[in-house]
Amino acid sequence: MARYTSVARALHWIIAILILGNLFFGFAHDALPKDWAVMPVHKSIGLTVLALTLLRIVWRLTHPAPPLPAAMPAWEKGAAHVTHIVFYALMLILPLSGWIMSSAGTRPLNWFFLFDVPKFAVGKEDAIVGLSRGAHSLLPWLWVALILLHVGAALRHHFMLKDDVLRRML
């Protein structure tokens, strides 16, 4: 069985856990206790996802994915590729849009309270900030839908089709 490299698998699962946690923090931050410093942690996780995604893209370009099963229909292979492209886009767009929004604010931007992160030279009135705000409020819902689709497809392959698609990433 062809598998992803150990680095690719580690990046996949670390980024997946960070994204799930950050989606939770993003959706639930108003309901969580104020003294939890949810938003600074949310921002730090987002920056971490961005950095790891850049590393993951470099790794993926230099270490191709194992081939999908030959018996898999072409439409399903196409859907898998499109889904992965959208995942990569979201792993870049959402952290960048959050960074842009934070850059327009007055609060410091730091990484897990360890060091300051430079801000972009933008103001609240800039169009890019408005675009970022819109993307940052809408795209997480797309992400949740794609995650459910992705997990559902992986489980379908494992339990119903009984192929190696899921095992390649385990």
For 24-57, letters b (16+ CB in 10 Å) and e give ebbeeeeeeeeeeebbbbbbbbbbbbbebbeebe
- Region 37-43: what's the mean pLDDT? 96
Q: What would the pLDDT profile of 122-134 be if each residue is shown by its tens digit? A: 999 999 999 999 9
- Region 8-21: what's the mean pLDDT? 98
pLDDT at position 1, please? 83
Q: What would the pLDDT profile of 79-105 be if each residue is shown by its tens digit? A: 999 999 999 999 999 999 999 999 999
Query: Which residues have a Cβ under 8 Å from the Cβ of 92 and sit 6 or more positions away?
Result: 50, 53
pLDDT at position 48, please? 98
- What is the rounded CA–CA span in Å between residue 77 and residue 102? 38
One-letter amino acid at 108 equals P
Share of the chain above pLDDT 70, in %: 100
pLDDT at position 10, please? 98
pLDDT at position 63, please? 97
pLDDT at position 49, please? 98
Give CA angle at 141 (132, 12), nearest 5°: 90
The pTM of this model reads 0.95
- Region 133-155: what's the mean pLDDT? 97
pLDDT at position 61, please? 97
The mean predicted confidence, pLDDT, of the chain is 97
Q: What would the pLDDT profile of 47-80 be if each residue is shown by its tens digit? A: 999 999 999 999 999 999 999 999 999 999 999 9
